[in-house]
């Protein structure tokens, strides 16, 4: 099948349930009477907290200030009705978040920094793990804050899809799924299918079929996650290609 036909079919498939994606739901958070929109917005903020934290760190802020800055940005975004300014026709959700954060850093933190740390806000722990542990593990390179943000964003999207894939496995398939995880994205496992099959007591053909199915389901979930952060079904393919490009050029 030609690539254009595959992309067209994929876009039509993505469009089937597109009306319930996060962009449309989150925009409803601009209305005070939409708790559903606020829940969706908080979910996205929780999912993509770290990419923005890493951006702030790369802008030269220390760990403590970066935590405060990122947290206060999300508090203002959620509680301050700033999402009502979002226009999905002007870009992807990651672009909106990064642009909003840049404006916040430039124009608003100077005022809030004069208040006592934490000010009048009661911070909600959007990230359970210490983000500095993640940041400390970043490779030492010369990537710009914007490049690091995109890299971490891509990783977060893939992690959400993979978490959903794992959650969808039955208890009886837990051992199989654990053994096949390295084969799901790309082909980076150093263990041949035959060796994995022997360890699992399966035929090599059965392992190949299982890997094929897991990869297919992972791609579906990845597309669903991407669809929640773009404005139209047609943008899903472009965003997916962009994500793959970002991951492929990540420093090893």
Band the pLDDT of 16: cuts 50, 70, 90.
Answer: very low
When mean pLDDT is compared across 116-120, 130-134, 155-159, the lowest value belongs to: 116-120
**Residue 17 contacts residue 236 (beta carbons within 8 Å):** no
In a domain, 55, yes or no: yes
H/E segment holding residue 42: helix 35-47
Other Cβ atoms less than 10 A from the Cβ of 218: the count is 17
For the entire predicted model, the pTM comes to: 0.70
In a domain, 137, yes or no: no
Rounded to an integer, the average pLDDT of 94-111 is 80
Q: Report which listed range, 36-45, 60-69, 141-150, is most confident.
A: 60-69
In a domain, 126, yes or no: no
Rounded to an integer, the average pLDDT of 190-208 is 88
| Per-residue DSSP letter, 226 | H
Helix axes 35-47, 49-58, angle to 10 degrees: 50
Band the pLDDT of 73: cuts 50, 70, 90.
Answer: confident
In a domain, 171, yes or no: yes
| Domain, as residue range, for 98 | 12-113+144-248
Rounded to an integer, the average pLDDT of 67-95 is 74
Domain total in the chain: 1
What average pLDDT does the chain have? 75
């Amino acid at each position: 099948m030609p690539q254009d036909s595959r992309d067209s079919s994929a876009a039509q498939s993505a469009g089937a349930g597109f009306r319930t994606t996060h962009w449309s739901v989150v925009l409803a958070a601009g209305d005070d009477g939409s708790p559903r929109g606020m829940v969706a917005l908080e979910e996205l903020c929780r999912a993509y907290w770290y990419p923005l934290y890493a951006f702030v760190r790369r802008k030269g802020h220390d760990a403590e200030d970066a935590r405060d800055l990122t947290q206060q940005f999300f508090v203002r975004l959620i509680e301050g009705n700033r999402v009502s300014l979002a226009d999905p026709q002007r870009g992807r959700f990651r672009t909106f978040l990064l642009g909003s954060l840049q404006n916040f850093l430039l124009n608003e933190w100077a005022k809030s920094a004069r208040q006592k740390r934490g000010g009048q806000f009661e911070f909600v722990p959007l990230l359970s793990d210490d983000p500095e542990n993640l940041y400390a593990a970043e490779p030492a390179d010369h990537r710009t804050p914007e490049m690091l943000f995109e890299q971490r964003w891509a990783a977060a999207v893939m992690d959400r899809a993979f978490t959903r894939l794992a959650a969808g496995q039955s208890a009886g398939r837990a051992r199989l799924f654990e053994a096949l995880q390295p084969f799901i994205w790309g082909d980076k496992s150093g263990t041949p299918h035959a060796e994995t099959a022997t360890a699992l007591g399966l035929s090599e053909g059965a392992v190949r079929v299982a890997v094929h199915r897991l990869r297919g389901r992972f791609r579906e979930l990845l597309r669903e996650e991407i669809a929640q952060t773009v404005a139209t079904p047609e943008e899903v393919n472009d965003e997916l290609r962009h994500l793959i490009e970002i991951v492929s050029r990540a420093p090893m």
